[in-house]
Structure 1
Amino acid sequence: MNTVKQFFWFCSGANISLLKRCPTEASKFTGIGATVFFTGILAALSGGYAFYTIFENAWWSAAFGLLWGCIIFNLDRFIVSTMKKSRKGKGQELLMASPRILLAVMLAIVISKPLELKIFSKEIDRKLVLLEEDIYQREIASIDQRFIDQTQLLQGQIAALNADIEAKRTKRDELATIARQEADGTGGSMKRNAGPIYQIKKADADQAQAELNASMQNNQPQIERLQMELADLNKQKATELSAIKRNPWDGMAAQLEALRQISLENRAIYFANIFIIALFIMLECSPVIVKIMAARGPYDELLEVREHFFKNHNLEKIAQMDYETRERLKPLLS
């Protein structure tokens, strides 16, 4: 039991030899040390999960998680060990502790994020499926957009050439019908004969047929060429579409984005997310807050005496060295 207690004293950054002389302070520093230690444990678990998400290797994740936990433990121990109780009141202590509190808040946010991802992993996995599909559809739309202008241009040219042929065919059919009606007496002069009027209308129909033949002769090769270009373009587009791979989108950044979106969509998850961060901020700041709230005790008095002793001892040594130096230099200066 004493070994565990002294270990927590070490975690609190206290001077163990002085703390043993202050039994009434033991519980306070044991609690501070335990908070620092378990915060480091949480940081190791959080960092291990974060690294596992990145590397997907249990051994590397455990190693990096342990390293990350030690870093956070050392920072927390440094924060609480450098805070000393002063005689200037709580306000002055809070002002002096504000940079340390800010650092503790930043550490709490960093520690809490991987654990939040684990807590909401099921919701995040469902959201990642939707985000992955959205990315896939955006890639398809991007390829479609690159080919749509060329495709529309070729289709427009083909449609214009076909329209020219169809217009001439329609004109030919109309003039041929008029000539036939003039010949059989169902139209025109309403007389059944192949007279001069019929010959004029027949000539017009023949001219329209010649124009249709010329149009087909000129346009058809162009249509075939444009259709081949369109087929090649569609083939190239199909090749690029088939090359798209549904790569798993489940990295750390993807999970954070999914968590952000589901927090905005679901109020319950949004508030749960806030409370988790607040909890870790409270855990991370608790050693600092405890040291600020705690009254100045015997340990603080002894620590001040010890520091004051070393300070005065240092000044005394410097003064003695200066005096001895002056004494040695007197014969040389006289």
Structure 2
Amino acid sequence: MQKLTTFFLRCSGADMSILKKCPSETSKYAGIGATIFFTGFFAALSGAYALYTIFDSVWAAVGFGILWGLMIFNLDRYIVSSMRKEGKTAKELLIATPRILLAILISVVIAKPLELKIFEKEIEPELIVMEQQKYSEQEAQVRFRFQGTHDSLKTAIEGLQQEIALKATKRDDLVRIAREEADGTGGSKKKNLGPIYKVKKADADAAEAELLAITERNHARIQVYEKSLAYNDSLQAQAMAALEKGRLNGPAARMEAMSRLTEQSSAMAWAHWFIMFLFIAIETAPVFVKLISNKGPYDNLLKVEEHQFGVHEVEELARMNTQAKEKTANYPQHERTFISNRLDAELRS
């Protein structure tokens, strides 16, 4: 247990030599260190899962996860250890604000991949729906690309066939009129093959000849159009066959699926925000513990320790200035005055 406590104390970034002088602060800094450690641990899991969804490589995911976790751990450790307690809440809160904002940003980055893993069973069916929608969109795009040519060819073929049909109808009408003139059921109402019949029969024969000519010409053109139509349809079929049902499994697709689920279900939306707030609370906990805790013996000893370094620095500068003034004692008055003023200014700064 003692080894674990020591490990968490080192995670907190506290000075171990100072903590030994104030054992009452051990539990507080052990708790801060544990929070920092587990934040880094969650970050490692989050980074590993995020990279695994991209490359499907366990070793790459583990390596990146460890690196990401260590980076977040080191950053959190620095954020907490760099904060100083002075007993002035407003000033401390102002100084801690950038650290809190950074902690919130880190928590959002950490939470998102873990959230995707938590809701993986709900996300998988939504990914299948998205894949089907994507494939349908691709099919519609392919059809649209070839539909214009298909429609124009069909219209041209139908126009040629209609022209033949109209000519055949006209021919049939003229043949009927000539027949009725011949048997006396129409026209002059006299059964004969006289001049009137011959004129009507000539019109019917001319219509027949026109029909044959148009039929021959249009059928030739229809065959060309049908070959073009068949070629266009074959190209469309090839383009359809070339479409692949891509597997949507990347982090962007999963975040899109998660967004759609939260829009469709209020329960999912609440769960999403609860997880986000949980990680924000975990990530910002060490900072807030530092803020709300009273100024303790450790903070006083740390201030004394840092003050000793400051005093030592001033003493060293004063000693060096004195030595410099002694070395320049034989200089002209104006040079001694200039050097002395400059050294005093550096000491005051």
TM-score range normalised by the length of the shorter chain: over 0.9
- Counterparts of 1:165-180 in structure 2, within 5 Å, are 165-180=164-179
Could you tell me how far apart the structure 2 residues matched to 1:312 and 1:205 are?
126
Could you tell me how far apart the structure 2 residues matched to 1:181 and 1:81 are?
115
**Counterpart for residue 66 of structure 1:** 66
**Counterpart for residue 200 of structure 2:** 201
**Counterpart for residue 122 of structure 2:** 123
**Counterpart for residue 15 of structure 2:** 15
**Counterpart for residue 307 of structure 1:** 306
Task: Give the residue type in structure 2 aligned to 1:277.
Answer: M
1:4 to partner: Cα distance: 1.7
1:186 to partner: Cα distance: 2.0
Could you tell me how far apart the structure 2 residues matched to 1:84 and 1:320 are?
30
**Counterpart for residue 27 of structure 1:** 27
Deviations 1:190-239 (A, max 9, x none): 22222222222212211211221221232221111111111111111111
1:168 to partner: Cα distance: 0.7
Does structure 1 residue 246 correspond to structure 2 residue 245? yes
Q: Percent identity, please.
A: 47
Could you tell me how far apart the structure 2 residues matched to 1:277 and 1:84 are?
28
**Counterpart for residue 82 of structure 1:** 82
Could you tell me how far apart the structure 1 residues matched to 2:259 and 2:217 are?
62
Could you tell me how far apart the structure 2 residues matched to 1:198 and 1:103 are?
104
1:333 to partner: Cα distance: 3.9
- Counterparts of 1:104-123 in structure 2, within 5 Å, are 104-123=103-122
**Counterpart for residue 49 of structure 1:** 49
Does structure 1 residue 3 correspond to structure 2 residue 3? yes
**Counterpart for residue 158 of structure 1:** 157
The residue matched to 1:245 in structure 2 has which SS? coil
Could you tell me how far apart the structure 1 residues matched to 2:9 and 2:283 are?
17
Could you tell me how far apart the structure 2 residues matched to 1:252 and 1:20 are?
47
Matched residues, number: 333
Uncovered stretches (5+) of structure 1, i.e. residues with no partner: none
More moved, 190-199 vs 278-287: 190-199
More moved, 28-37 vs 207-216: 207-216
**Counterpart for residue 227 of structure 1:** 226
Could you tell me how far apart the structure 2 residues matched to 1:290 and 1:185 are?
117
Deviations 1:127-175 (A, max 9, x none): 0111111111111111111111111111111111111111111111111
More moved, 114-123 vs 275-284: 114-123
**Counterpart for residue 274 of structure 1:** 273
Task: Give the residue type in structure 1 aligned to 2:207.
Answer: A
Does structure 1 residue 144 correspond to structure 2 residue 176? no
Deviations 1:251-280 (A, max 9, x none): 111111111111111111111011000000
Could you tell me how far apart the structure 1 residues matched to 2:231 and 2:272 are?
52
**Counterpart for residue 284 of structure 1:** 283
Could you tell me how far apart the structure 1 residues matched to 2:167 and 2:153 are?
22
More moved, 46-55 vs 102-111: 46-55
Deviations 1:52-76 (A, max 9, x none): 2122222221121111111110111
Task: Give the residue type in structure 1 aligned to 2:264.
Answer: E
Could you tell me how far apart the structure 2 residues matched to 1:11 and 1:151 are?
71
Uncovered stretches (5+) of structure 2, i.e. residues with no partner: 334-349
**Counterpart for residue 343 of structure 2:** none
So what's the TM-score if we normalise by structure 2? 0.92
1:332 to partner: Cα distance: 4.1
Deviations 1:77-105 (A, max 9, x none): 01101111123x22221111111111111
The residue matched to 1:292 in structure 2 has which SS? helix
Could you tell me how far apart the structure 1 residues matched to 2:111 and 2:319 are?
55
1:322 to partner: Cα distance: 1.4
CA RMSD of aligned residues (A): 1.3
Could you tell me how far apart the structure 2 residues matched to 1:54 and 1:258 are?
16
1:179 to partner: Cα distance: 1.2
More moved, 242-251 vs 270-279: 242-251
Could you tell me how far apart the structure 2 residues matched to 1:216 and 1:25 are?
105
The residue matched to 2:127 in structure 1 has which SS? helix
Task: Give the residue type in structure 1 aligned to 2:242.
Answer: A
Task: Give the residue type in structure 1 aligned to 2:91.
Answer: Q
Task: Give the residue type in structure 2 aligned to 1:323.
Answer: T
**Counterpart for residue 99 of structure 2:** 100
